[in-house]
Every structure is written in C-alpha cells, then in structure tokens.
Structure 1
C-alpha cells in the first residue's frame, strides 16, 4: 500500500444498490431491474438464470405443500419403473397398495410405470387416495393411469421433500439407482434425526439381503456406521408383516391407526 493510499483510503468508485445487492466499479450496470422487466425487446435468456430458477423452485414447493397439506396419513412406496406388469413384484405392489388403503393410508409413489404403477393400482382399485409425484426426465414418462392426485416436478430435491414430509413410512420394492437414492436419503434423514423416526421396509428378502449383508459386514464392521443404524431397516416378503411393522411404529410414536380414526 502506498503512502497516498494510507492517507486517503480506498479510491472512490461508482456505486449502486440493487435491492440487497451492493455493486461497485465494473459491477455497476447502466439499466435498472424495472427497466429490464418492462423491456419487451429483450430475449428469453433470463428464464434460464439462477435467480429465476429460485422462483421456479419456490413455486414447486408452494404447489406441493398446497396440494398435499390435507392428504392425511400416507406411506410412500418406491420401486423400479422397469418392473414388468404381471410379474410377482408387480403383483406384490398391487397387494401393498390395497393393504395400505385398507389400513387407512394414502399411497404415494413416483407416479411412473412398473412398481410405482402397481402400488397406485392397488390403492386406486381399493378406493383410496392414489398419489403420484412425477419428475421431468430426458425421456418422457408421465404419470400412470392409476394416479388420482398427481404432481409433476422439475427438481428432484423438491420432489424428495414431498415424499418425506407427507409420509409416515417407506416401503421399498426392488429397484435400481433411483430407488437406492430414495432409500439411502430416507435412512440418512432418520439416522441424523432430521425427520421423526419412521419405518423403512425393504420388501423382497432375496433382492435386498445382499445389500443388508454388505452394510452389516463391511460398512458397520469397518466402523462407518453403528450396529443400531441397521435397526432402521426391516426386511420382509409378507404384506401382512409390512402392515404390522407400520402399525407398531405408529403405536410407538403415539399415532392412532388411521383406519380407526372417526370420520
């Protein structure tokens, strides 16, 4: 720093305030926010800027919260979009969707085909609330025909918030990376107490046993997780047992069985 700089301080530069933002020097622009808003000759590039994305994100949260706020007790069911119609896994999903409705729950899925469709089908045919939370993907997927209440999201993280916020538990059918993503995010949120402890049920013992064994023999054995963390996961092949796990969890959390709630 020169003697002149020490005596006079920083050199004065142009300064402008844009809402809470302070601009100086080369950051100062010659137009105003209102001017750009009212300029009909501008291009549409602003639609793809991060500040505008914030508004889109906000709108998705508002729409999701507004649509699902009065959903009532619900269980999210995850699974592969590639599960063939008529397969044993698909039929298990139908039975699960039906049983959840009979137990007083709404059924929430990703709204796609395969395992998601199967749970929505069971809920729809049982006369319950069948919810699909879709996501914009590079390949067109759309909501399956058994969704009675559907929302499509641009952003995965907004969609994931809806799954967690409005569910009392997760049932996870065999699936791929997307299913694993939802599974481990749910386990992380429960493990870190970001959400109230709720059951995470892996349906399909043969399919999921290898993963659970790896967690036990590698992750826990090497100290990357605690043995108590494994208690967050329940494995079953029985729809009745899955319903019993949900009922027991509700009782532990002081929640009345939704099927017993008076109208």
Structure 2
C-alpha cells in the first residue's frame, strides 16, 4: 500500500545514523531524507521499499537513483555549483558560515559567497534561482521549528549600528545574559550591534560574571564590522576560543542585507534570503515576548509587526512587549504613544511596558508573563 505524501516530522531523516536506524527496520517508504550522502548505502536503496519517499539533495549511486525513482520515490538531486545547500536539514552554525575565514579571508567564506550568488541572481528573473532560494528558506524554517519546538523564546530587537565598546552594547549583552539565566532562549536578528550583544550575553550566561567583562574588553578592540568584516568576526571567534563552552541562543539573519554579517555568538543561525520571511518568522517564534532596544526604521517596523498579531489575538494571550529607553520611544521615535493608543482596552494593553533602562527589562518581561504558552 502506498504511503500518504502527508508530511510527518518523525519521517524526516537528516543524518546518516538516522537513515541507518530506519533502514534497519526494513523500509524507507514515506521518508523525507534531507541532504544525507547515500553513496555508500546502495544496497539499502536497491533492496528496501521506497514508495512515497522523497530524497532531497542526497548524493547516491546512479543505479540506486534510477531504482528508487522506478519504485515510487521522488528524487531531487544535489545542485552543482551552489555555495549553499538548498535542501539542508539543520540550522547553520557560525563556524559553518565563516569557514575559511582565518585562511582566506571573509570574501571566501560560505556566507560571503552565498551573498555574492544572491546578488547575481536576485534580479535576473531566473525562475530556477528563485525556486532554489524558496526551497532553501523553507528548509531553514523547518529546521528552526524543530530546534525551537517547546522552547520559551524571547526576542531582543535593536539596531545594527550599536558599536562594541559602548555603554549601550554592554547593556544589551547584560540583558541577553539575564534573559538566558532566567531560562529563556534568546533570539535576535542574528546580525551585528544590539543583536550580537544579546547573543553574546546568552553565550556568557553559563560563566561567572567576570567572563562577560573580559569579553567586552576584547571585543572593543574591533568595535565595528566596518571597515573589515573579517577582523570583526575574528575578534568574536577569539572570544569563543577562549571560552568555548558558551550558552545557546538563536540568530535569524538575512542575505538581503549584505552589509549586516551574521554574528558569531548565536549558537544556531537561521539565515534566509527573503527578509520578509525572516522578519515574520523571528517575531512569530518569540513565544515568551520581545524586548525592543533603541533602534531606527527596522526596529520600529518590528514593534508594529509584533503588535499586529497581539492586537488581533483572540485567546486573550498576547505576548509581552517591553520597550527600553523612554526618551527614545516617546520623543526621538515616538512609537510608544501610538502603541499605547493601539492597545486601548484590548488584552494587549496588559502585556506592554515602557522602561527607562535595560536593567529593568528582564523583570518587566517576566512580570508581564514572559513565559512560553
């Protein structure tokens, strides 16, 4: 009997040991196998049921590929010449995106090469390139959902221009550390500035407090990713090397902004081509709330992107929103009065707060119910 093509999470195979475990049970039918090298698994592919299976970017012997197609499987072959894997089954790591940094410089890293490919293909109207980008981003979203399943996630939003060595950067790092120590998973836009600082804080959470002080001093020697992304990233990897057992957090950056390289302190990076998918996905996964640090247009957009589903929340459970720096959000960029007016008498009115300092943000978030639903 043919298996239903309906997606089942327990049928996703993303590693060779997982494949071997399932194959040992006597059937590959109905599986979704993502980016697993099966060139040494020809006997299994030739001899086991594969009806309804889908192989996404899995290298395999030509005879095995022909047989599984004839036996009712779909085979999407690896795409040669790409600097990225559109079918990947896992999130990126900083080491993966920055591979070769020390030996060949930033422009030779997978991150830079993928951005260059994106720049060459995004405007040429090639349906194949746009399809590959869409497949990649969907694969990343699937991996992100699996990684964050059942985890209380708190977002930290803020501008990319916040330089290392500043009081603001230090405050954002301490915020990330406090949130991580409260048992929350910190998620950011995965780039530099406030995003890097919050991921750094989460990385520092397992260590004693002096570790973060020392790390901040080391990073301050390379305050910005301009003029050299390579030097900026190398300073972060030097900190990671000195303290290799850092805490976990998530960064969700995008190749849409080529001037915003991914930071090296997020343990897992969900990097997208489509910025709209990235923005919506980041906020939607912040089940424990969002802290908004001072920022410009992008952060203002995120405030109201997050407020919209809270406004229409029908179950009475909007996620907490904490805006940091009263002067910034009431005078320089007066988003708070509009947010307050929008909240009105709705349930979200009890889940928003404006605080003066970053030190107040964790307590405010928890007071508003900053826990996963």
TM-score w.r.t. the length of structure 1 is 0.67
Q: 2:283 aligns with which of 152, 163, 166?
A: 163
CA-atom RMSD in angstroms: 3.0
Quote the residue 2:321 is aligned against.
Answer: 200
Distance in 1 between residues matched to 2:175 and 2:257, nearest whole Å: 30
SS at match of 2:252: strand
Quote the residue 2:164 is aligned against.
Answer: 85
For the 8 Å contact 1:60–1:158, the answer to whether it is kept is no
SS at match of 1:76: strand
Moved over 4 A (4+): 51-54
Quote the residue 1:227 is aligned against.
Answer: 344
Tell me, yes or no, if structure 1 residue 126 matches structure 2 residue 205.
yes
SS at match of 1:67: helix
Deviations 1:24-77 (A, max 9, x none): xxxxxxxxxxxxx99xxxxx934145x66654453333232123325x212100
Quote the residue 1:107 is aligned against.
Answer: 186
Deviations 1:63-120 (A, max 9, x none): 32123325x2121000000012122221110110111012111111111111111111
Q: Which has the larger radius of gyration?
A: 1
Change (3 A) 1:87 1:227: same
Distance in 2 between residues matched to 1:155 and 1:57, nearest whole Å: 7
Distance in 2 between residues matched to 1:158 and 1:213, nearest whole Å: 25
Distance in 1 between residues matched to 2:269 and 2:194, nearest whole Å: 16
Tell me, yes or no, if structure 1 residue 173 matches structure 2 residue 253.
no
Deviation at 1:141, TM superposition (A): 2.5
SS at match of 1:107: strand
Change (3 A) 1:143 1:188: same
Distance in 2 between residues matched to 1:254 and 1:109, nearest whole Å: 17
Deviation at 1:254, TM superposition (A): 9.1
Deviation at 1:208, TM superposition (A): 1.0
Distance in 2 between residues matched to 1:53 and 1:99, nearest whole Å: 36
For the 8 Å contact 2:320–2:369, the answer to whether it is kept is no
Q: 2:302 aligns with which of 172, 176, 182?
A: 182
SS at match of 1:75: strand
Quote the residue 2:9 is aligned against.
Answer: none
TM-score w.r.t. the length of structure 2 is 0.49
Q: 1:68 aligns with which of 148, 165, 181?
A: 148
Change (3 A) 1:53 1:130: closer
Distance in 2 between residues matched to 1:67 and 1:254, nearest whole Å: 15
Deviation at 1:245, TM superposition (A): 2.2
Greater share of residues in strand: 1
Matched length = 205
Distance in 2 between residues matched to 1:226 and 1:254, nearest whole Å: 21
Distance in 1 between residues matched to 2:300 and 2:313, nearest whole Å: 20
